[in-house]
Chain A
Amino acid sequence: MSDTTFSSSRIGRIGGLLMLALAIAYGIGGSQIDYAFASDPLGPRVVPVLLAIILAVLCLFYLKNPGTAEAFPTGQLLVKIVAVPLLLLASALLLEPAGFAASIFLLTFGVGWIFGAPLRLALIGGVGQAALWWFVFSYLLDVYLPVGQLFG
């Protein structure tokens, strides 16, 4: 147990440092915002700079005691965790060229399989969901969805 808490608090510290870096970058960016005129005494720069200072101070408190955090996934679980966003990325990029049905099939089949469905069931689930959601959105709710060049 002590092992995971140690690594967790270290992960918390890395996160705290990243947020501190974000605060500094955001503050510098905020102090350099270009504007031609300001109709109020504060202008567009002051609030971002204030927020950057607040976040930086809070990060210092956080770094002092990051508290408990969950351990990072490893091994096979890490592969699965990385695969889900990659599938989302792929289906987002395929949405317009390949169309809604194909891209949603990829997403539902892939994620279903990652979540432990046997291959056959994942395939059936993917086809079924692609058809179901196409019907619900295109016919029942009249939401615009790309047909794609594959079928269009």
Chain B
Amino acid sequence: MNLDYLWNGFTVALTMQNLLIGLAGCFIGTLVGALPAIGPINGIALLIPIAYTMGLPAESTMILLAAVYCGAEYGGRISSILLNVPGDAGAVMTALDGNPMARQGRAGEALMLSGLSSFVGGVFGAVGLALFAPLLAGLAIGFGPAEYFVLMVFAFATLGSMVGSQPVKTLIGCTLGLMLATVGLDATSGAYRFTFNEPELGDGIEFVVLVIGLFSVSEALLILEHQASGVTVIRELGRMTARLDDIRKSIGATLRGSVIGFIVGVLPGTGASVSSAVSYTTEKRISDTEGTFGKGDVRGLTAPEAANNATACGAFVPMLTLGVPGSGTTAVMLGALMLYNIQPGPMLITERPEVVGGLVASLFIGNVLLLLLNLPLVNIFARVLTVPNWLLVPGILVLSVVGVYSTHASVFSILLMLGIGIIGWLLRKAGFDMAPIILGFVLGHVMEVNLRNALAISGGDISILFQSKISIILWILAGAMAVMPLIAGWRKAKRMKTATS
């Protein structure tokens, strides 16, 4: 196997500038993860315009954003354990056993153990990424427009069956994203679509405006609604080292979590919230023989923590090799790459090895930095949790306003962000997930171009979408993904029937 891209990547990631950028990213990421008010997606969305206006090259921006992403998966555990409020979506499961541990006076141990398992999961994911990325890129090099189109159908089918409580809501989200992507100039015909004669919409809706609107503005309104009064930070951390016994006990859980997390990460669109839930329920089924899960069992703490970090790395596999993001956060990073006019796909690893290699190498370095940051400095991050919302939320809103304003110096962008934010708030209240909208938006343009190119090749004959072996396999996989929730629902109904009788 040819891993030259990785060794070269280390020379990119180990330059002084990129090391400092990575360290800053790890620090910001841990904060972003620890603060419940802000998650990896809006953390990254707020940084993109800053990185862009600072004139950072593409590989440095990617290293920064990847460090924030991984850092957020580390940081999420801090508020899950100390506040019983997950710091980000991937840390929901961490609270189930982490917070009971903290209440038993073992907060320090819980933080150390989960830090270690985060590290194992992260490194496992980075190794997997380094090995799988060239393989998958090699496989996808023969993809034509038809195969790409079907691949994206598969991505949406996976998303519909894995993300959220109701597939129909996830799919509506995807469709809304695809529709938003049609706004603007259609390059092949020169037609302006859905611009309502507004010149600022000619280039389409700006990516940063959409993401910041959907995540930051709507989040601010949700925080206001849910402002909890009774949450208390656990201050007594207790002993700050993990017990050898506990480490030994959680090795199996950590490794299983890492494997599950990586696989879920590679699947298109399914991020840390899915993987941590799957790994927790799996671990519970395997290890919970004495009913200790949910009462502070270290295996229930370490499995989802390893999983969400492995997912963050795994999600880069399809993003870097196929141009299909493996999670909501990598969808935002894909959008960031597009700002640099880089269209990820199987050729990226050979055409821009410094971007792919630098990113993969930075994940190895980043995980080491994060372990070093997160074990001794966890106290500092824990103290950040006491920053009141009345300081934090206005700060996030300022970053949002400056972020969308700075790229084009246009007030119209701020107004558009505001409108999108209000719609996002309404959708979130109705139980819609925002990540599918982002995914639809990011993939919309590519999906349409590939469909139209495929049909241009065949002269309008739809059968080109079903001709190659790869397309047929992808259609079958997409079909399997689509019926999966139906089967699961049927089995659940059957089980409930037998339970009642």
Contacts and interface: CB of A to CB of B under 8 A. Distances in A.
A135 interface: no
A55 interface: yes
Interface stretch (B278-286, B315-323, B352-360, B399-407): B399-407
Given A44-B189, A55-B179, A92-B411, A117 B398 contact: no
Interface in B447-491: 448, 451-453, 455-456, 459-460
Contact of B393 (A11, A43, A115): A115
B10 interface: no
A81 B59 CA distance: 40
Contact of B186 (A44, A54, A66, A67): A44
Nearest to A125: B391
B390 A58 contact: no
Interface residues of A, number: 73
Given A55-B179, A121-B390, A141-B54, A129 B398 contact: yes
A51 B244 CA distance: 56
A92 B179 contact: no
B451 A69 contact: no
A116 B229 CA distance: 11
A139 interface: no
B462 to A, nearest CB: 10
Contacts of B456: 39-41
Contacts of B178: 51
B430 A81 contact: no
Nearest to A41: B460
Instruction: Name, among A34, A85, A88, A108, the residue most crowded by chain B CB atoms within 10 Å (CB to CB).
Output: A88
B163 interface: no
A68 interface: yes
Interface residues of B, number: 60
A81 to B, nearest CB: 6
B405 A95 contact: yes
A48 B182 contact: yes
Interface string A46-60: 011001101100110
A84 B421 CA distance: 11
Interface of B is mostly: helix
Contact of A115 (B191, B227, B452): B227
Contacts of B452: 40-42, 47
A38 to B, nearest CB: 5
Interface of A is mostly: helix
Contacts of B179: 26, 48, 51-52, 55
Contact of A30 (B193, B224, B421): B193
Contacts of B221: 81, 84-85
Interface string B402-437: 100110010100110010011000110111000000
Nearest to B415: A92
Interface string B153-196: 00000000000011011011001101100100010111101100
Contacts of A65: 166, 168
Contacts of B394: 107-109, 111-112, 115, 125-126, 129
A66 B452 CA distance: 34
B455 A40 contact: yes
B144 interface: no
B224 A91 contact: no
A73 interface: yes
A39 B457 CA distance: 11
Interface in B196-235: 217, 220-221, 224-225, 227
Contacts of A21: none
A62 to B, nearest CB: 5
A115 B414 CA distance: 22
Contacts of A121: 390
Contact of B225 (A67, A73, A109): A73
B413 to A, nearest CB: 9
A107 to B, nearest CB: 6
19 contacts: A11-B430, A19-B172, A29-B194, A30-B194, A35-B186, A39-B189, A42-B460, A47-B451, A61-B168, A66-B430, A81-B225, A85-B418, A88-B418, A89-B415, A91-B401, A115-B227, A122-B390, A137-B406, A143-B406
Interface of B: 50, 53-54, 165-166, 168-169, 171-172, 175-176, 178-179, 182, 186, 188-191, 193-194, 217, 220-221, 224-225, 227, 388-391, 393-395, 397-398, 401-402, 405-406, 409, 411, 414-415, 418, 421-422, 426-427, 429-431, 448, 451-453, 455-456, 459-460
Given A67-B431, A143-B402, 11 more contacts: A36-B190, A58-B175, A62-B172, A67-B165, A81-B224, A84-B220, A92-B401, A111-B220, A129-B391, A129-B398, A144-B409
